[in-house]
Amino acid sequence: MLKFVTCVLLFSALAAYSENDVIKLKNYPSQNPFTDTLRIEYFYSHDDESSFWSQMSLWGSDCYYEGKKINIKILEDHPELTYKVWMQKNPAPLIIILPGLGGHYTSDTVTAFAGLFYGKGYSVLAISSAMNWEFMESAAKTMIPGYTPYDAKDVRNALSIILNDMLERYPALITKKMLMGYSLGAIHALFISDFEAKENLLGIQRYVAINPPIDMLSAMSKLETMFEIWQTWSKDELKNNIIRSTGIYMSLIQHKIPPRAIIPIDEDDAQFIIGYAYHLNLRNIIYSIHTRKDFGFIKTPYSWFSRSALYKEIDSFGFNKYRDTYIKKYFSEVFGESFSFEKLNENSSLMAIEKNLSENQKVRILHNMNDFLLRKKDIEWLRKVMKKKIVFFDRGGHLGNLFTEEFQSQLIESLKDSD
């Protein structure tokens, strides 16, 4: 009996210990990881609707227009890369934002982060994701994005040139630099922290990663599975579900559904919306690659006036096919005989930089317990490696709790106490 009681107490203590890094979101109407994820649409810049003047007005204050766009040459023989800055008038810390898969520096999420940080007294710099066409064409030495170490190197190289440019433009306005990434941007931020620990090029004092997937290739496969849910629908279901989910998504982006209300959408429809959004991102990635170099996987001829057939063929590519064609061909040439997907996956995983994550005191991670890109063992691994440097939220799916006060105050908290 004594043994039984001891065991129960021990397990309770262990459970309590493992759960004490979890922040419980109040009044968060969690439904499932996928529907929770759609709540990212509630994270937007609020000032565009509350001011007396509209966003186009010269008197208006709109976060999107307050940012300044600057073009800069990153690589010779490539077009210039555009980055956007929101500079404080007085000296302030600079936060660099790395968006998620396919994310552009003009996206609503980037603008919302910029508005949040700017409002707290930080200056902000945003660039497009390494898997966005603009970055790929202007700043990527790697022709095929998707292999995290190489993508992160490209981002680091671009940032070093941009930061030098900023120091020239705003010599006395940047007191320190912090790097924040979400989703794919988060995994890039963490890899950059590893590079920087070996060679300090950027002088970053804090790295904050929001909802990083553990490895990119598995995450991409998961996104494809989500998109392919339509394959299990009947013809009638296909029509109805697409229309219904589009309608609800429209209501969400127009903020017609209050943030604390239940979203009237089921798990499958939510999966489809998320998967379809990423599928469209993949379309842009492949289009960008194909227009610069023909790898022989796409046969349809095209011209400026006629590209629909080309897109049709590109749309037949999912993330797995992209991996099995473009990534395989490109990296087989780069690595030669030593190439294998297992190796590629291993090097792209956060586990490849476990030592840095464990020892680097500049790194912080914010994650959600019900992020669909995390498996149970990933959570355990993150806890073991990051210890007190990670904070979990009990709900939110993938990025679906960015709008909550709890998340935002924790994010700002994570930026403090940097060297």
Partner 1 sequence: MQFVYEDNFMRFLIVFFAAVLFRTLIANAENPAELPSEKIHSVTFKIPIDEKQYFLADCILIEKTDAFDDSYNYESVIVLRKRSFKTVDEKEFEAEVNISDPIEGFNRVMTSFNYGLVMYVFRPVAIGYATVFPRFMINGFGNLTDNLEFLVRTFSCMLQAKFGDAGEESLRFLINTVLGVAGFFDVADDWFGLKTHDEDFGQAFASWGIGTGCFLVLPLQGPSSGRDCVGLLFDYALDPKTYVYGAQWFAKLNKSSLYIQEYEKISEANEDGYTYVKDIWYLVRKVKIED
Instruction: Enumerate residues 251-270 that contact partner 1 by CB under 8 A.
Output: 268
**Is 412 in a helix, a strand, or coil?**
helix
How far apart are the C-alpha atoms of 101 and 298, rounded to whole Å? 23
Compare residues 363 and 373 and give the one whose CB is closer to partner 1. Answer: 373
Is residue 104 near partner 1 by the rule CB under 8 A?
Answer: yes
Residue range at the interface with partner 1 (CB under 8 A); choices 5-13, 105-113, 328-336, 410-418: 105-113
Is residue 58 near partner 1 by the rule CB under 8 A?
Answer: yes
Is residue 233 near partner 1 by the rule CB under 8 A?
Answer: yes
Strands (E), 226-292: none
Q: Which of 54, 332, 358, 361 binds partner 1 (CB under 8 A)?
A: 54
Q: Which of 30, 32, 61, 106 binds partner 1 (CB under 8 A)?
A: 106
Q: Which of 299, 305, 337, 416 binds partner 1 (CB under 8 A)?
A: 305
How far apart are the C-alpha atoms of 285 and 290, rounded to whole Å? 9
Indicate the DSSP class of residue 303: B
How far apart are the C-alpha atoms of 61 and 158, rounded to whole Å? 30
How far apart are the C-alpha atoms of 415 and 411, rounded to whole Å? 7
How far apart are the C-alpha atoms of 13 and 411, rounded to whole Å? 28
Compare residues 177 and 279 and give the one whose CB is closer to partner 1. Answer: 279
Query: x/- site string to partner 1, residues 62 to 81, per CB under 8 A?
Result: x-xx----------------
Indicate the DSSP class of residue 387: G
Are 209 and 189 in contact, with CB atoms under 8 Å apart?
Answer: yes
Q: Is 59 exposed, middle or buried (0-12, 13-18, 19+ CB in 10 A)?
A: exposed
Residue range at the interface with partner 1 (CB under 8 A); choices 36-44, 139-147, 310-318, 401-409: 310-318
Compare residues 4 and 305 and give the one whose CB is closer to partner 1. Answer: 305
Q: Which of 85, 229, 382, 391 binds partner 1 (CB under 8 A)?
A: 229
Instruction: Enumerate residues 363-392 that contact partner 1 by CB under 8 A.
Output: 375, 377
Helix then strand count (H, E) for the chain reads 18, 9
**CA proximity to 403, closest of 7, 29, 19:** 29
Q: Which of 19, 315, 333, 417 binds partner 1 (CB under 8 A)?
A: 315
Q: Which of 37, 123, 129, 345 binds partner 1 (CB under 8 A)?
A: 345
Is residue 133 near partner 1 by the rule CB under 8 A?
Answer: yes
Compare residues 93 and 100 and give the one whose CB is closer to partner 1. Answer: 100
Residue range at the interface with partner 1 (CB under 8 A); choices 150-158, 190-198, 227-235, 358-366: 227-235
Instruction: Enumerate residues 162-191 that contact partner 1 by CB under 8 A.
Output: none
**How many residues at the interface with partner 1, by CB under 8 A?**
58
**Is 357 in a helix, a strand, or coil?**
helix
Indicate the DSSP class of residue 327: I
Is residue 239 near partner 1 by the rule CB under 8 A?
Answer: yes
Are 185 and 98 in contact, with CB atoms under 8 Å apart?
Answer: yes
Compare residues 48 and 394 and give the one whose CB is closer to partner 1. Answer: 48
Residue range at the interface with partner 1 (CB under 8 A); choices 85-93, 187-195, 284-292, 355-363: 284-292
Residue range at the interface with partner 1 (CB under 8 A); choices 23-31, 113-121, 180-188, 229-237: 229-237
Query: Closest separation between CB of residue 225 and partner 1, Å?
Result: 8
How far apart are the C-alpha atoms of 48 and 30, rounded to whole Å? 27
- At residue 46, φ and ψ (nearest 5 deg) are -80, -25
Please report, for residues 116, 401, 411, the alpha-carbon distance to residue 405 in angstroms, rounded to integers and kept in the order given: 11, 9, 10
Place of tokens 């995290």: 148
Indicate the DSSP class of residue 24: P
Compare residues 64 and 170 and give the one whose CB is closer to partner 1. Answer: 64
Strands 68-72, 81-86: parallel, antiparallel or unpaired by DSSP? antiparallel
Query: Closest separation between CB of residue 320 and partner 1, Å?
Result: 8
**Is 248 in a helix, a strand, or coil?**
helix
Tokens representing 264 are: 């009237």
Q: In the complex, which residues of this chain contact partner 1 (CB under 8 A)?
A: 48, 51-60, 62, 64-65, 104, 106-108, 133-134, 215, 217-218, 225, 229-235, 238-239, 242-243, 246-247, 250, 268, 280, 284, 287-288, 304-308, 311-312, 315-316, 324, 340, 342, 345, 375, 377
